[in-house]
Amino acid sequence: MKFNFDIECTPEEARRFIGLPDVAKMQEALMQDMQKRLQDNMKALDPETIVNAWFPASMQSLTDMQKIFWSQLGVSFPEDEKTKKKK
């Protein structure tokens, strides 16, 4: 034998009937905390902040970065016009 019961109630009424605790205030506080943390982390994703963190201030241009990269690989490159004029 099989019985089916259809009970119409809201989630709040079902929670109270079963005896589960009301965690709405806790969830709201946690969501506000998570929102604040996400906003703080989004500020760290600013392109200028990322570039400043990845590259030292002494690297003034892409050319400097390329020279450092090639020197680490052991590749020599001819002096450019700017370097020749400085000497």
Tell me the per-residue pLDDT of 19-63, one tens digit each, with 9 for 90 and over: 999 888 999 999 999 999 988 888 777 777 777 777 766 556 677
Q: How far apart are CA 83 and CA 59, in angstroms?
A: 15
37 half-sphere exposure, CB direction, 13 A CA radius: 6
pTM: 0.41
Tell which wins on pLDDT, 11 or 54.
11
Query: Does the pLDDT value for residue 84 go beyond 70?
Result: no
Residue 54: predicted pLDDT: 74
Contacts of 70 (CB under 8 A, 6+ apart): 77
Examine the pLDDT at 86 and tell me if it is beyond 60.
no
- Cα torsion 73, 74, 76, 81: sign: positive
Alpha-carbon distance of 33 to 41, in angstroms, equals: 12
**Angle between helix 24-44 and 47-54 (nearest 10):** 60
